[in-house]
Amino acid sequence: MPMRFSYGDLSRATKDFSSKIGQGGFGSVYVGVLADGTHLAVKKLEGIGQGKKEFRAEVSIIGSIHHVHLVKLKGFCAEGAHRLLVYEFMGKGSLDKWISKKCEASKILDWNTRFNIALGTAKGLAYLHEECAVKIVHCDIKPENVLLDDNFVAKVSDFGLAKLMSREESLVYTTLRGTRGYLAPEWITNNPISEKSDVYSYGMVLLEIIGGRKNYDPAESSEKAHFPSYAFKMLEEERPEEILDSRLEFDENDERIADAIKVALWCIQDEMHLRPPMTKVVQMLEGLCSIPHPPIPSQFGSQTSLSFYKWSSEGGTSTGPINWSSDAFQSEFQSGVQLSGPR
């Protein structure tokens, strides 16, 4: 069980919550320092209607989950109406500060660092979805919830918080916080939310890591304003370098660039069953398996997309999950849809 703090303890540690370092869909985050000098990140939860017993039960589950790419929950407070969570402090802050266009030239992350952040984030999500005792769907994956330690190791934060709220509350908070650009279509169509919803959000984050920009930027030209559409177009035209952040130096022979782009575009497929599980995302990023050419979602339309849907319908999997590890899946793609080239 994580350590239990009193509200007074955390009020003193944060100097009456005077230093706000973040705002998320579930509350505000403040920096705190314990008497022994240990730095903490204290999140004041908003809109949590659970009683102390239920809250502590959920916290015990979240606190029992440990992984190198998940932010560690160190403690909690459940006192009166107050509900707070205490996390390890992450020295470099959130990912969004390091990949935006406003980022200072001296702070622009190189490709190796970005790739490792993308891979680490994928590993953290894969653990939540498939490896820990209780499957956890994050529901709010975005750059602000990917935190970086002093060595730029990525750790997913705020996992498990969706369990503390109803789906309606989660949707309202997520929407109000301006993160609609990361929400999978099923949030809007009222289809069931699952780990595949996290996969979609991860794909949108991965695109931003690659491109160094928001996925929607009205300041860009009409062609580039919606980055996912532009990315699909550039991949179709075999110009993946146009998707990469223009501020980056890169090796033209580095296969990880094209691989990361294809992985991102697989993850943001409208159809849930087309999105790979996060364990497969990790394998593809690590170069352990080939990556089929991603189909363009139906709203963009292309021969590649038509070929894919024709193949999946004939195979009887148009409404079911794709077996990403099957030889048949790989061979059908290699024969029916053009791949960008062998690994």
**Rounded average pLDDT per 10-residue block, the chain, 343 residues:** 93 95 82 94 81 82 92 93 93 92 84 97 96 87 94 93 56 44 80 89 97 89 90 92 91 92 96 95 96 82 39 32 50 39 34
Instruction: Please answer whether residues 141 and 177 qualify as being in contact, where contact means their C-beta atoms are separated by less than 8 angstroms.
Output: no
Residues 93-336: name the CATH superfamily: Transferase(Phosphotransferase) domain 1 (1.10.510.10)
What CA–CA distance (Å, rounded) separates 63 from 136? 13
CATH 2.40.70.10 assigned to domain 3-88? The reply is no
Any known ligand binding at 44?
yes
Please report the pLDDT score of residue 50 as a whole number: 67
Q: Which among 268, 128, 247, 294 is positioned nearest to 203, based on CA atoms? A: 268
Q: Dmax of the chain from CA atoms?
A: 65
Q: Where in the chain is the domain with CATH 3.30.200.20?
A: 3-88
Q: Two tokens at 303? A: 């021969």
**SS in 3 state form for the chain?**
CCEECCHHHHHHHCCCCCCEEEEECCEEEEEEECCCCCEEEEEEECCCCCCHHHHHHHHHHHHCCCCCCECCEEEEEEECCEEEEEEECCCCEECHHHHCCCCCHHHCCCHHHHHHHHHHHHHHHHHHHHHCCCCCCCCCCCHHHEEECCCCCEEECCCCHHHHCCHHHHHHHHHHCCCHHHCCHHHHHCCCCCHHHHHHHHHHHHHHHHHCCCCECCCCCHHHHEHHHHHHHHHHCCCHHHCCCCCCCCCCCCHHHHHHHHHHHHHCCCCHHHCCCHHHHHHHHCCCCCCCCCCCCCCCCCHHHHHHHHHHHHCCCCCCCCCCCCHHHHHHHHHHCCCCCCC
Q: Which among 38, 48, 42 is positioned nearest to 7, based on CA atoms? A: 42
User: Is 259 a residue of the active site?
Assistant: no
What CA–CA distance (Å, rounded) separates 285 from 289? 9
Please report the pLDDT score of residue 324 as a whole number: 54
What CA–CA distance (Å, rounded) separates 35 from 304? 61
**Distance in Å from the first CA to the final CA of the chain:** 46
List of residues 6+ apart from 166 with CB closer than 8 A: none
Entry pTM: 0.82
Which of these is catalytic: 9, 140, 158, 198?
Answer: 140
CA distances from 183 to 77, 180, 200, 259 (A): 30, 5, 7, 23
What CA–CA distance (Å, rounded) separates 85 from 331? 48
Please report the pLDDT score of residue 88 as a whole number: 95
What CA–CA distance (Å, rounded) separates 69 from 121? 7
Please report the pLDDT score of residue 326 as a whole number: 56
Please report the pLDDT score of residue 55 as a whole number: 85
Q: Two tokens at 165? A: 């709220």
pLDDT digits (tens, 9 = 90+) for 176-229: 333 567 888 887 777 788 899 999 999 999 999 999 999 988 888 888 888 999
Strand order in the sheet with 20-24: 3-4, 73-79, 82-88, 39-45, 27-33, 20-24
Q: Which among 14, 18, 67 is positioned nearest to 38, based on CA atoms? A: 14
